[in-house]
Amino acid sequence: MADFPLPPDSTSVASSSPSLFAVENFRVSYPGHSAWAVDGVSLSLQPGERLGLVGESGCGKSTLGRAAMRLLPPTTRIEGQATFAGRSILEFSPAELRHFRGEAVSLVFQDPMTRLDPLMTIGDHCVETLLAHQPELSKKAAKERAIATLASVQIPASRWHQYPHEFSGGMRQRVAIALALVLDPKLIVADEPTTSLDVTVSAQILEQLTELCAARNMGLILISHDLALVGEYCDRIAVMYQGRLVEVGPTQSVFYNPQADYTRSLLQSAHQLQSAGAQNSATSFSNEAPPILSLRNLTKHYTLEQGLLGRLLRQDPPEPIKAVDGISLDLYPGEILGLVGESGCGKSTLSRTLLRIVEPTAGEITFQGIDFTRLSRKDLQARRRDVQMIFQDPNACLNPMMTLGRGIADPLLIHKLATPAEAEKQVVAMLERVGLTPVDDYYHRYPGDISGGQQQRVAIARALITHPKLVICDEPVSMLDASVQAQVLELMLDLKDELDLTYLFITHDLWVAKYLCDRIAVMSDGKIVETGPTEQIFRAPAHPYTKTLLQAAPLLAKA
């Protein structure tokens, strides 16, 4: 790319060569805020180097990643230097920025829906991206390159004409990663790129990214809360806390000889999650009691429409997508049942089907002795106060136009469980319980004013405010760093005891499942392939797919 001359390719990083990307004494303050979101950070990245940027949600790591592409609001206050290949990013003209974004630096967002247009097919996304930057390409050549890139992240060509809403959260993330790779950039800023992906697909994608770094001399900034993941794929690690860089160094040095207290606390929390077994053994459940939830041959199939050409040629209609395929499962009072499996296997569809957010194709759903499939809409809404859900994406249940306090109180008001004054008192208490303190700082704020991890805490508070009997947790801690994960999981265990809750815990993080769950059900291609006590699943998995999942799970080595 002529506008952005890069340092010469080299298999070794020479100290005299200009950095691919660098910030020096860099500060960022968002409009309307006096505090620095990024405060005096100095950091550099060489061509071909992989840097892991870790820290708790709200620490400024995503802000730093967006600063690399000049994606901050126009009135953001910025001080210091930010350079790419020796040129100041802050001085790029609008025309230079247009080429810079995508061709030189590409960003994989934490939330893939911020990158995907719901009115465009996946194929249109790819072709539009390519032709916008390389108009000399023919549509045929653009499609061929796009299909190859999608295939590299496990998206088959058969899904070319589908829309983002027809993909699972994990598969949408794969599409976002493909869009970042399709222009062959020199630097990828990956902001939690595998948050919604299972361990097998995470490993495939990160192995691909690291291979590309080596083959193309491409830099990678991997922003993540997953220390084991960062440790496995990054050369260096930078640790941020409250906007500041508290430690940076080679991966092995940071892991085995951490200098900062905050780094040591992160590592301790990560080790605690991976080394512990199920934590609620003191409050064990009994499967001698009738199950609180019982599924029998539950099925959800999606029928694909046949295209015009297929109808004209009188071809057989396409096979339906068997998202949930004849599942039978029991969940007992006081139990935490983990549901694990790769993205797209049907976990989230199962959770939405048993709540009748989407209608089942067949089967029975019995909750506390009542068949959910036979309830009218009015009766179903009344029963849903006893079954709440924490979604994978907190934005799915947080109204951007409502303050956090009003959003959490909403279920109480909908089900007429409290007056507005009583609801406010309960919301204040719940905000304190989920660690959003001081409460006055959060009650009147909006979802867009807080970090992704803080949004997830609000989603947990909203789900628990009605004191339900069953909580369906769809990746509730996937956006949180190790220390906050441990805190939130402990909180969920405490609330389980206080409120007499039962959890169906959906996760792709096997270590979180091991830490929290009594039993684990492993799901693959719409079916449950193995169920058993957590200890048995980890010690002696029976199904080949379960063994594959366990082998792919990144393990944080102990010093």
Q: Which residue ranges form the domains of the chain, and what is each CATH number?
A: 21-275 (3.40.50.300), 308-551 (3.40.50.300)
The model carries a pTM of: 0.71
pLDDT average, residue stretch 536-549: 91
Quick one: DSSP state of residue 402? Answer: S
pLDDT surpassing 70 at residue 381: yes
pLDDT surpassing 70 at residue 152: yes
The position carrying tokens 């993205």 is: 343
Regarding beta strands 236-241 and 219-223, do their DSSP bridges make them parallel or antiparallel, or are they unpaired?
Answer: unpaired
Q: What percent of the chain has pLDDT over 90?
A: 37
Provide the pLDDT confidence category of residue 488 given band limits of 50, 70 and 90.
confident
Q: What is the pLDDT of residue 280?
A: 45
Closest-CA residue to 170 (of 432, 508, 529): 508
The token duo for 246 is 């508290």
Dist CA 86 CA 100 (whole Å): 14
The token duo for 446 is 């909006």
Q: What confidence tens digit (pLDDT) does each residue in 514-539 have?
A: 889 999 999 998 999 999 999 999 99
DSSP element (H, E) containing 202: helix 199-216
SS3 308: helix
Dist CA 196 CA 341 (whole Å): 11
Dist CA 325 CA 522 (whole Å): 14
Helix axes 169-181, 139-152, angle to 10 degrees: 130
Q: Are 502 and 464 in contact (CB under 8 A)?
A: no
Provide the pLDDT confidence category of residue 15 given band limits of 50, 70 and 90.
very low
Using alpha carbons, list the distances in angstroms from residue 495 to 98, 470, 492, 503, 555: 49, 12, 5, 11, 29
